[in-house]
Structures are given as C-alpha cells and as structure tokens.
Structure 1
Amino acid sequence: MLEQILAHYQPFQPVVLLDPEIDRLLLMDFTDRNTSITPEILDNTDRFTAYVNQLLEDHDCTFGIGGYAEHRTIYARSEHFSTGEEPRRLHLGIDIWGPVNTYVFAPLDGTVHSFRFNDVHGDYGATIILQHQLEGHTFHTLYGHLSLKDLEGLQEGMRVAAGQLIAHFGDIPENGHWPPHLHFQIITDMEGNKGDYPGVCRYSEKAQYLANCPDPDLILQFMP
C-alpha cells in the first residue's frame, strides 16, 4: 500500500540537488562482482575514499548511486555487521556518494522522529530520522552518515518542511568511517527504534526487512 501511495505522490522535493545539464550519476556496484575493490582498499577508509572519488572522476560523474537490496561484500570491513552466526550483508537503502558537506533536503513535510550519533566503525555516524504522513499512512525516512553539526538544536517532534535543508554529507570521523555519502532509507514501522534502524540485514531476513523498507527510489526518482 505505501509503495502505491509513494508511486503516485509526485513530485517529491529532491533529497540531493542535481542539475540535469551538469551533474551525472554513476551506478556503483559494491557486490562481489566488483573485483576492483580489494581488501587493502576496504581496510583503509582513506584508500576507500580515494577509490570512490577516482571512480567518479573517471566517469565524469558528480555522484555515485545505488545499493538497494544489494548483497554487499564490503560490509566485511566492519565487525559491526558480523556479529552472530550469520553476518549482515543485504543493504536496505540507497547510497548517494559525493563530496563532504553536500546538502541534504527533506523530500516532504514531516517531523523529527529521532536522531543520534551512532559512533561505531561501520555504523551510520550522525543520523536523523523523519516521520511523515501521507493519505493516512505513517512512514519514516532515515538519513545516515551526516555531519555532527546537523544534530545540534534538533528536538523530537520538530516540524520539517518539504525542501528544507536538514543535513550535510559528513566527513570520515563523524560518518561511521566511510567515504562521504548519504544513506537514504524508507521505513514503515520503526519497531520501537530511535535514532537508529538497521540499514543492512541478514540475507535470511530479506523478505521481512524489504517489506518494511520499500525502495527509496520511490522518493528519489534517480534510477532509470
């Protein structure tokens, strides 16, 4: 039902500003099909950042994009995703890779549900979650890997307008130690979580998590 509502509720305000005449998007692959990502790159965030930046430069693209429902080997770089008998590898959001301090905007009206600095290697770092209402349905949007300054002055329940600047791409020390990017995710039921919700799940839990986290491109409208 939510997917149908989002598909017909257009246009949303852009989450990241793109000039169609200048800015190009590169579809990026972080599965085991991409053999150019070596353990040496993944084990060093500066090298990983240089790798992403070089890819964008080589393809003359402003932003990299992709990752929804992608089974990603890159999560082996952090113990955060490898607890328990089965590691977490299935990505539940869309990533937008680009320069530090890139502006992030609210795609539609809402309120601040929660926020937190998830300061663990491989986690979201600075995180904001908004709550929205559309046609009687409540859902949430999560913004991960932000700048710490974006959490200053926030309060739960604070109103946010469509198109309002809410955040910036965070730098490595504050974004969970990743190359700068935005993790954008739609979540129907927060299941009691605040300031955090899994952005990566175990493959055995794929069906239930994808049902609760529909394709973020319903809002972004980036993918062909």
Structure 2
Amino acid sequence: MKSFGQIIKANSVGKVVDFDAGVDRLLPFDFTATNTELTAAMLDDTELFSDWINKQLANNNARYGVGGYNEHRTIYSRSAHFDTSEEPRRLHLGIDIWGPAGTPVYNFYDATVHSFANNDNFGDYGATIILKYEIAGYVFHALYGHLSLASLSGLAENKFIPAASQIGALGPKEENGGWPPHLHFQIIEDMHGLKGDYPGVCRFSEGDRYLANCPDPNVILQFDF
C-alpha cells in the first residue's frame, strides 16, 4: 500500500497560501523550550506575542513564519485548554503558517466539506474548516484552523469545494482563539467521529498514535524550510 507521501507526490496538488519559492522567504519558528526569547510575559499577552512574530518576519524579510510538525511546544502553557489532565498536551500535530490577518487560504485539491465550527475557547482554533479529500482512492481530511469567522459563511456539510478556490483567510486574534494570526494546517486520516474539531496538540505519551493518523502536511505544502 502506498504511503500518504507517495500518493500525493504522484498527483498534482495546488497551493494552500500564496507563495513564490523564487521570491518569497520562509522563516522557521522554534516554539520548544530552547527558544528563550519567548518569555512567560510575552506568551500571556497576545499583543506582545504578535509583536514578536511580526518583528521576526520583518527582520528576516520573510513572507511567512512556518513549522511546528511533531514539535514539543512550550507555548501551550499560555492556555488552560491544553492542561486538562495530569499530562498536558504539548506535541503539535500540524504545520503553522504565521502571517498577517486576512491572508487568503486556498483549497489544494477538489474536496467536500466534512465539517466546520467556531472553536472559541482561549487558545483553541477559533474558526475551523475540515475538508474531505479522495486522491487515487486514498481518503483523508485537512483541518484549517485559526481562520476568520467570515470563512465559515455559506458552508454546509458535503458541499463541493473545487481545487484552487479560496476557502477563507487568517483570522485576527479576536476570532482565532486568541493567537497571533496564523493558519494551523493538519492532515487527518481518520476523524474518529469528530466534527468541526480534532486535536491539533496531543500528549507526548500519545504521540506515536496521533502522528500515525496525522502525517506530515508538508507533503502538501512542499515548503523548503
């Protein structure tokens, strides 16, 4: 049986955000404990956190900040949403693309709407769209989180979404769960009956199980970072 990566590489997929590899630069972000620039005070204040993100992008002439798949992150200490058990959730299951609010987000292949929701807890996804795909017989889902509320307008489950169409935009902190603007992009094979939501961060002890169900989304993005 072919892997997710082999199937995607054998079929043409489109963009998720506007990006010209010949012109635009990506800045890898490290949100593990080794990044000592992000103090507790900065993480507790979304404006300070956003200022840090924006300065990093500007100083490095980068269009987007990017990264996070299979990263054990300390930044989730800012939200009780990730501390609901004896072992907090810290292992990130998607790739984040950090950029300005309003940045367009596109569908990379023909899809249907699986589900959508406004997950409006502090630190959660905010406006979320989950699309269902079938490529060469392989069925999977993509979660687009931290979108603008307007991105949910006009959606219905099973609605067809053609490839290359804009499906939304990055939301401001008031609409995206209280984060600096970014897209959480995650591939999910089995939704396990969930709708409008799926964990984007898991306990480290459960990492193998979740990572097996959520393969590296950079196979779609094809970012070199």
Give, in whole Å, the separation in 1 of the partners of 2:6 and 2:152: 30
The corresponding residue for 1:131 is 132
Q: Following TM superposition, by how much is the alpha carbon of 1:10 offset from its aligned partner in structure 2, in angstroms? A: 4.0
Q: Does 1:142 align with 2:143?
A: yes
2:123 aligned partner, one-letter code: G
The corresponding residue for 1:93 is 94
Pairing of 1:127-206 with structure 2 (within 5 A) = 127-206=128-207
CA contact (8 A) 2:130 2:144 kept: yes
Q: Does 1:83 align with 2:91?
A: no
CA contact (8 A) 1:6 1:218 kept: no
CA contact (8 A) 2:5 2:219 kept: no
2:91 aligned partner, one-letter code: L
CA contact (8 A) 1:12 1:219 kept: yes
The corresponding residue for 1:111 is 112
Give, in whole Å, the separation in 1 of the partners of 2:224 and 2:82: 27
- SS of residue in 1 equivalent to 2:53: helix
CA contact (8 A) 2:7 2:136 kept: no
Q: Following TM superposition, by how much is the alpha carbon of 1:5 offset from its aligned partner in structure 2, in angstroms? A: 3.7
In structure 2, the gaps of 5 or more residues are none
TM (norm. structure 1) is: 0.97
- SS of residue in 2 equivalent to 1:173: coil
TM-superposition CA deviations, 1:31-59 (whole Å, max 9, x none): 00100000010000000000000000111
Give, in whole Å, the separation in 2 of the partners of 1:171 and 1:98: 11
Give, in whole Å, the separation in 2 of the partners of 1:30 and 1:13: 28
Give, in whole Å, the separation in 2 of the partners of 1:223 and 1:20: 8
CA contact (8 A) 2:72 2:92 kept: yes
CA contact (8 A) 1:87 1:202 kept: yes
CA contact (8 A) 1:186 1:214 kept: yes
Give, in whole Å, the separation in 1 of the partners of 2:75 and 2:174: 19
TM (norm. structure 2) is: 0.97
Give, in whole Å, the separation in 2 of the partners of 1:218 and 1:207: 19
Q: Does 1:56 align with 2:46?
A: no
2:72 aligned partner, one-letter code: H
Q: Following TM superposition, by how much is the alpha carbon of 1:96 offset from its aligned partner in structure 2, in angstroms? A: 0.2
Give, in whole Å, the separation in 1 of the partners of 2:144 and 2:123: 15
2:138 aligned partner, one-letter code: H
Give, in whole Å, the separation in 2 of the partners of 1:4 and 1:103: 25
Q: Moved runs in structure 1, 4+ residues, more than 2 A?
A: 4-11, 19-22
Q: What is the root-mean-square deviation of aligned Cα atoms in Å? A: 1.1
- SS of residue in 1 equivalent to 2:174: helix
Q: Following TM superposition, by how much is the alpha carbon of 1:7 offset from its aligned partner in structure 2, in angstroms? A: 4.1
Give, in whole Å, the separation in 1 of the partners of 2:218 and 2:16: 11
Give, in whole Å, the separation in 1 of the partners of 2:37 and 2:110: 41
CA contact (8 A) 1:92 1:200 kept: yes
In structure 1, the gaps of 5 or more residues are none
| Identical columns (%) | 55
CA contact (8 A) 2:71 2:92 kept: yes
The corresponding residue for 2:213 is 212
The corresponding residue for 1:13 is 14
Q: Following TM superposition, by how much is the alpha carbon of 1:12 offset from its aligned partner in structure 2, in angstroms? A: 1.2
In the alignment of these two chains, the number of paired residues is: 224
- SS of residue in 2 equivalent to 1:116: strand
Give, in whole Å, the separation in 1 of the partners of 2:20 and 2:5: 28
Deviates more, 1:40-49 or 1:15-24: 15-24
